[in-house]
Structure 1
Amino acid sequence: MNTFEELLARWCDAETRGDGAESLLAADFRGDGPDGLVLDRDHWPGRAPTGTFRWTHLRVTPSVGVATGRRDGAGCTVVAACREGRWLIVNVQRGS
C-alpha cells in the first residue's frame, strides 16, 4: 500500500467480510480489545461486525498514521507504521 488511507480501506474491507487481514498486520502487531484482551497477529481473527467503521479523526506523518473512530457503537483506534516503504498496522484498540 502506498498510503495510510489505502491500508485503512483494505483493512476495513477485510474486517467487514470477516476475512483474516494478517497480510496487513505487522509481525509485531498487538490487538487490544475490551476487558484487557490482547492478541498478536496470528490470533487476531477477522471479525464480521454488524456495523461499518466511521472514522472521526485521521493523523498521518510520513512514517506513522493514526485513525480513531467508531464501529458498532464502540471506539476503535488503528495505528500503522510505514516500514521499508510499506504501510502495516501495528496496533488496533477496540472499546466495549
Structure 2
Amino acid sequence: METFEELLARWRDADAGGDTGALQPLLADGFRGDGPAGRVLGKADWPGRPPSAAFRWTRLEVTPGVGVASGHRDGVACTVVAENRDGRWRIVNVQRGS
C-alpha cells in the first residue's frame, strides 16, 4: 500500500519536472490548486508552470484518512493536503503563498 510519504515523493518529482502524465493519477478528481493572488487551477490545468525547485516539506501530519505536509517550494510557503480513500492516497489540494 502506498503511504502518504511515498505519494509526496512521487508528486514532488513529477511536479518539479512538469510531468503532467505522472501527476494526473496522483491528484484527486476534485483537486484544487490555490496560488498567489487568488489563482486557482483544477486537475486538468495543474501544473500551471514547472517550479524552479522541488517541494521540501518541513512539517508532516498524517492520520489514517488525511495527510498534510507543509514546507517550501521556490522559496514560498506551500501546503499539500491528501486523502486516503479506499486504500489509495490522492492529493486534493495544494496551496502556495505569495
For the criterion TM > 0.5, the same-fold answer is yes
Unmatched tracts of structure 2, length 5 or more: none
Alignment of 1:24-35 (within 5 A): 24-35=26-37
* Alignment TM-score, normalising by the size of structure 1: 0.93
1:46-91 CA-partner distances (Å, limit 9, x unpaired):
6322222221100000000000000111010000000111000000
**d(CA) in 2 for partners of 1:46 and 1:35?**
14
1:6-46 CA-partner distances (Å, limit 9, x unpaired):
00000000011111111100001111011001111111126
* Alignment TM-score, normalising by the size of structure 2: 0.91
Structure 2 partner of 1:9: 9
RMSD of aligned residue pairs (Cα, Å): 1.2
Structure 2 partner of 1:18: 18
Structure 2 partner of 1:64: 66
Unmatched tracts of structure 1, length 5 or more: none
How many residues are paired up? 96
Alignment of 1:17-96 (within 5 A): 17-20=17-20, 21-45=23-47, 47-96=49-98
Moved over 3 A (4+): none
8 Å Cα contact 1:53-1:70 kept in structure 2: yes
8 Å Cα contact 1:32-1:92 kept in structure 2: yes
**d(CA) in 1 for partners of 2:18 and 2:46?**
11
Percent identity, aligned pairs only, is 67
